[in-house]
Structure formats: C-alpha cells, structure tokens
Amino acid sequence: EPEVTQTPSHQVTQMGQEVILRCVPISNHLYFYWYRQILGQKVEFLVSFYNNEISEKSEIFDDQFSVERPDGSNFTLKIRSTKLEDSAMYFCASRLLGDATEAFFGQGTRLTVV
Amino acid sequence: AQTVTQSQPEMSVQEAETVTLSCTYDTSESDYYLFWYKQPPSRQMILVIRQEAYKQQNATENRFSVNFQKAAKSFSLKISDSQLGDAAMYFCAYRSRNNAGNMLTFGGGTRLMVKP
C-alpha cells in the first residue's frame, strides 16, 4: 500500500540553526500539507501546497517557515532559524485531487530544538 | 473560523465492550467533511471513518460507526467490540469544502485505553 514517508524520524538541532524536514508524498497525490503537534497539544495546520504554490497557510507559518517541492517527488519544510518553541512533531500529509478525498499522513518527524 | 472540541481527554473501555467518543464542532458552513483519525503510539495518523455533511446516513466502517447530528454540530464515534489494538489517541477533525487548501482542523484528542 502506498504511504507518505518522512525523514528523519527524529532531528535534534541547536536554537538558531536551519532545519529541513523531508517528505515523500504518495506519488499521484496533488495536495500536500504540513501539520505540527506540540507535545500534549492538538494537531495544528501549518500550510497547504497545490500546483507548486502555497494555497493556504496558518498564522504559525511565518517568515521563518518555507515549503518547497524541489524535484516532483519530495516536499520539504524549512525552518530558517529554529526557536525552542518549534520543538514538536511535524506531520506531512497528501491527498488526491477532489474535495472528497482523504488525507494520508506520514509517521512524523520529531524536532527537538535545544 | 471553525473549531473542534473533544470534551473527553481520556476514556477507558473493557475489551469486547462498546465505547463512544464525543466531538462537537462550530461552523457557519453547511457543506463540509468530518473525520475521525487514530494515532497509535507509532504516532502515524490513520483515518478511521469519514462523514460528508450532506449525507444524513451515519457512516459505518466495520466496528466503527458515527452518530452525526448536524443541527447539534455533534459527531461522536462508537467503537463496538473493543480490541486491545484500538488503544490510541483519537482525533476528530473538520474539513471545509470552501477554502482553497481544504486543511483539517483537529480537536484536542481523546486517549482511549482498552483493558483486557
């Protein structure tokens, strides 16, 4: 069964450093998402991406964040200068075209900023 | 903006028994989707069941069924014949049909424990 894969599973980074989280969505999916889950809190939407551009973003997704689909298969989330409060689980998701389709989630990347 | 509320932080059920997880939401829209996702200790979010708001019939997937009350903005999940593998965090989620990104808005989650 096709699945969304995320790498790495766990990343530890120093505060102020740049970090790139990687995702390989399911191959024929056209909508891509990043969500985050701070420990013990709800899952929060960060950004959606369609047709090579951001279609919607939340207030959390400020200038420190960016997304890219560099090669038609990977979908990346970059945090330019990490803060302690960026420590969270980051989930990538993808889905097919059509508003009735479900989102498939990756297993997540745990980001720890020290 | 839509909000989703899960009022039960934790629930417990005996194996083989039935449990109902509650979810309410707030929206001014008439057309949307509702979902229940399961998050086991492995952390991956897995879709359990989906409901389209325009359908009056409650969705069912094997041992999982929902009670969708559109006027009350309520969307509860019933798990019948609970199994040890059902132990997980369960998230209720809302998705509009009207915004460009069609993102999910999640509730705070309910941790379900299954006792053998």
Q: How far is A33 from chain B (nearest CA, A)?
A: 8
Average pLDDT, chain A: 93
B40 near A CB under 8 A: no
Q: What is the pLDDT of residue B100?
A: 60
| Residue A114 DSSP code | -
Nearest CA in chain A to B97: A99
Instruction: State the SS3 of chain B.
Output: CCEEECCCCEEEEECCCCEEECCEEECCCCCEEEEEEEECCCCCCEEEEEEECCCCCCCEECCEEEEEECCCCEEEEEECCCCHHHCEEEEEEEEECCCCCCCEEECCCEEEEEEC
Rg of chain B, C-alpha, whole Å: 14
pLDDT at res. A77: 98
* Cβ atoms A73, B13 nearer than 8 A: no
- Mean pLDDT of all residues belonging to chain B: 93
Of the pLDDT bands very low, low, confident and very high (cuts 50, 70, 90), residue A97 is: confident
Q: Is the pLDDT of residue B6 over 80?
A: yes
Residue B94 predicted with pLDDT over 70: yes
Percent of chain A predicted with pLDDT > 90: 82
Contacts with B56 (C-beta within 8 Å, 6 or more apart), sequence order: none
The confidence score (pLDDT) of residue A58 equals: 94
The mean per-residue pLDDT over the stretch B96-113 comes to: 87
Task: State whether B100 and A106 contact (CB < 8 Å).
Answer: no
On the question of a cis peptide bond just before residue B116, with omega within 30 degrees of 0, the verdict is no
The β-bridge partners of A5 are A24
Task: Say yes or no: B42 contacts chain A, CB-CB below 8 A.
Answer: yes
A52 versus B97: the higher-pLDDT residue is A52
CA distance B14 to chain A (A): 25
Q: Which of A41, A56, A102 lies at the smallest CB-CB distance from B103?
A: A56
Distances (CA, A) of A104 to A33, B1, B78: 10, 23, 22
What is the mean pLDDT of the segment spanning B74-96? Answer: 96
- Asked if B43 lies within 8 A of A89 by C-beta distance, the reply is yes
CA pair distance B45, B27, nearest whole angstrom: 24
Over residues B41-59, the pLDDT tens digits come to: 878 889 999 999 998 899 9
- Residue A1 binned pLDDT confidence (cut-offs 50, 70, 90): confident
pLDDT at A49: 94
Query: pLDDT tens for residues A24-77?
Result: 999 989 999 999 999 888 899 999 999 899 999 999 999 999 999 988 789 999
Contact across the interface for A56 and B99, Cβ inside 8 Å = yes
- What pLDDT is attached to residue A71? 85
Asked if the model's pLDDT at residue B99 lies above 70, the reply is no
Mutation site, B44, B49, B50, B61, interface A, largest A CB count within 10 A? B44
- How near does any CA of chain B get to the CA of A55, in Å? 5
- Which region, left, alpha or beta, applies to residue A107 given φ > 0 means left and ψ of -120 to 50 means alpha? alpha
Write out chain B residues lying below 8 Å of A56, CB-based.
Answer: 99-101, 103
What would the mean pLDDT of B3-28 be, rounded to a whole number?
A: 97
Map residue A86 onto helix, strand or coil: helix
